[in-house]
A and B are shown apart, each in its own frame.
Chain A
Amino acid sequence: MTSTVHASNTSVDAVPNPYLPRMVRIERITVETDDSLLKTFELAFLDAENGADFDFVPGQFCEVSVFGKGEAPFGIASAPTEPGPLKFTVNKTGVLTSALHSMKAGDVLGLRGPLGNGYPLELFEGHDLVIIGGGFAFTTLRSLTMYLLEPHNRKRFKDITIIYGARRPGLLLYRGDLAAWEGRDDVDMHLTIDVEAPGWTKHVGFVPDVVERVAPSSKNAYAVICGPPIMIRFTMPKLTALGFSPERIYSSLERRMKCGIGKCGRCNIGPYYVCKDGPVFSYAQLEGLPQEY
């Protein structure tokens, strides 16, 4: 027997392994809310060269590894236009996020990404933008806003309106950034809380009602909305009444995820994978699909 199947054509070209995280160090931790359940983690690549090729757009996310606990997806809260570490704001909810909340500056995490599509910035260009956020779903909206307000970018977009609400003042994220944006004359800021609080002079009421009150023009405008499902459910009719078509309303969706690259099957909505085809979708894309989000 002389023949052999030790084939030479079976070798695989070096395939990059999409499951291997890169190492990052926690540079800084900021407690965002008065209930301490939301913290912002600033992460820097251990190997500086590793970070050099990390190009992302607002709206993309990463899989963050807490070794021993696993991985979970988090939207990138910093903007590509901001120098320094990447920011992730994490709500303490489950096993992994509880472990993350107990970590300290200097601790090492794993990071895979950037993943997902991000907000369609080219489509938004030359239009008014209405950014609507609720609760702690403002993370990638922060990234988007920081990007839009960067001096080079600002002139590429027309009027920017931000409507952001939380149950009470102490639950609004990024209060330093919000104050800075309120000081600008090129952003129309509307902050709201659910019920009156001492010293609060801004809107009081739920986000959908404030959207109705502010009544941003839908002419030549896109709306970007992120928040709890209940907020989105009641805001959508308000946007429709203002003349926003489903093609002009974008949202960033969340689903339980594992691989982040469209393999593990977990996060589909109809034929779309939230991890790979999203997380940013227009409501026109979601029409006619099971409402599994």
Chain B
Amino acid sequence: MTKKIAKQDVDQFLTWLLEDHVVYAPARVADYVSFRPISSPDEVVWDCLVTREPPKDIFFPQTEVLFEYEETEDGVSLRSTEAVQQERIVWGIRPCDVRALLVQEAVFDTPDARDVYFVNKRAKTTLIGIGCNEPLSTCFCTSVGGGPFHKEGLDLFLTDIGDAYLAEALTEKGERLLKGAYFKPAAKADLKAAGEVEQAALERLPEAVDLATIRQHLDEMIDHPFWDEVQATCIGCGVCTFLCPVCHCFDIVDEGTAACGQRVRNWDTCQYCIYSLEASGHNPRPTQRERVRQRLMHKFDYYMVNQGVIGCVGCGRCVQLCPVNLDIRQTLVQLEACE
């Protein structure tokens, strides 16, 4: 089902959603824009294409209590925090970030071990996405199998056609939203406008990097001197992994005493020495060489083996935010050129 909503009606629609949902939307946080729970449509930032932090935090918080524990007379009692009561909406999520969520889902929600914290949040969340009319110079979604108007994984997809958004329902959840009075029938001209917007966006994107043979190439490059060159530049700060919408690594720690406290998981990064450091002092990835190799091998090789997809969605956050200007697109081109 496809309808449209006038831009002037969007605030009312959001206000209505806020009545019984937690609504996450791009909002200003200090001097940058990230997804946050909003309390009013006024907080939504409309012109931000790539938020500083990816919306992965909504399903996989940077810090998350797994359970609380307390010593009792006859043992230790646990209180899990896995339940999610409130229905949630993510408003304005971009196609790359949705694809990243699907990759994370393939990691967290497997038949042998379902990550109940992620699964519960996912089940309670409706995703309202928006296409990217004006991709940035750092965007490369089409290099990794995505696109600025990819709809996979969304419940409702919006296309900015000027004074209105074309709204396409992709799931039952999306259909239910479209039944609301804020949505009007879409005219043929609206569909045509959406098509033109999409075409213009594709033309604007930089040329795609050819990754057809990257996996086979990486398999043969485990001990290649190329990794020494990359590590010479990389300072191992980990920003490329923390702000990557796909990266899912975490640490688990106890906070508290033997008598009471909580078990917490925190985002972690393969770029840190301590990540793989063992209590004995042995470190299987002793230098940045092994760590930069791990990041690229995981994304462009191991994800392909285990999840059947590339572990990169081309959002460009790592390109934007790397303090030493490492550009993963250039790195991939250089990799492909290695003998």
Main secondary structure of the interface of B (DSSP, over half): mixed
A233 interface residue per 8 A CB criterion: no
Quick one: closest A residue to B17, CB to CB?
Answer: A5
Quick one: closest B residue to A3, CB to CB?
Answer: B179
Number of B interface residues at 8 Å Cβ cutoff, please give it: 75
Asked if A18 and B252 make an inter-chain contact with CB atoms under 8 angstroms apart, the answer reads no
A1-37 vs B, CB cutoff 8 Å, 1 = contact: the mask equals 1011111011110011111110101000000000000
Asked if B80 and A17 make an inter-chain contact with CB atoms under 8 angstroms apart, the answer reads yes
- A5 and B126 in contact (CB under 8 A), knowing A258-B251, A288-B222? yes
Chain A residues lying within 8 Å of B76, measured Cβ to Cβ, are 23, 67, 108, 110
* Set A1, A21, A96, A271: member contacting B16, Cβ < 8 A: A1
Asked if B268 and A264 make an inter-chain contact with CB atoms under 8 angstroms apart, the answer reads yes
Chain B residues lying within 8 Å of A288, measured Cβ to Cβ, are 219, 222
A229 interface residue per 8 A CB criterion: yes
**Measured CA separation A33–B300 after assembly (Å):** 46
A198 interface residue per 8 A CB criterion: no
Asked if B261 and A68 make an inter-chain contact with CB atoms under 8 angstroms apart, the answer reads yes
Asked if B276 and A256 make an inter-chain contact with CB atoms under 8 angstroms apart, the answer reads yes
A123-138 vs B, CB cutoff 8 Å, 1 = contact: the mask equals 0000000000000000
**Measured CA separation A70–B305 after assembly (Å):** 31
Asked if A5 and B116 make an inter-chain contact with CB atoms under 8 angstroms apart, the answer reads no
B263-307 vs A, CB cutoff 8 Å, 1 = contact: the mask equals 101001010000111111010110000100110011001100110
Number of A interface residues at 8 Å Cβ cutoff, please give it: 57
Taking each of B256, B258, B280, B290, which has the highest tally of chain A beta carbons within 10 Å of its own beta carbon? B258
B window 80-100: CB within 8 A of A? 80, 82, 87, 89
Asked if B279 and A97 make an inter-chain contact with CB atoms under 8 angstroms apart, the answer reads yes
B250 interface residue per 8 A CB criterion: yes
Asked if A229 and B282 make an inter-chain contact with CB atoms under 8 angstroms apart, the answer reads yes
- A12 and B177 in contact (CB under 8 A), knowing A6-B20, A262-B110? no
B226 interface residue per 8 A CB criterion: no
Chain B residues lying within 8 Å of A66, measured Cβ to Cβ, are 258
A262-275 vs B, CB cutoff 8 Å, 1 = contact: the mask equals 11111010110000
Asked if A265 and B278 make an inter-chain contact with CB atoms under 8 angstroms apart, the answer reads no
**Measured CA separation A183–B82 after assembly (Å):** 53
**Measured CA separation A21–B69 after assembly (Å):** 11
Quick one: closest B residue to A253, CB to CB?
Answer: B284
B52 interface residue per 8 A CB criterion: no
Chain A residues lying within 8 Å of B285, measured Cβ to Cβ, are 292
A/B interface sample: 10 pairs, CB < 8 A: A11-B123, A15-B116, A17-B82, A18-B115, A46-B75, A67-B258, A93-B279, A262-B110, A265-B268, A292-B276
Closest 10 CB pairs of A and B: A94-B279, A265-B249, A271-B305, A261-B113, A3-B179, A68-B258, A292-B284, A93-B279, A271-B302, A258-B252
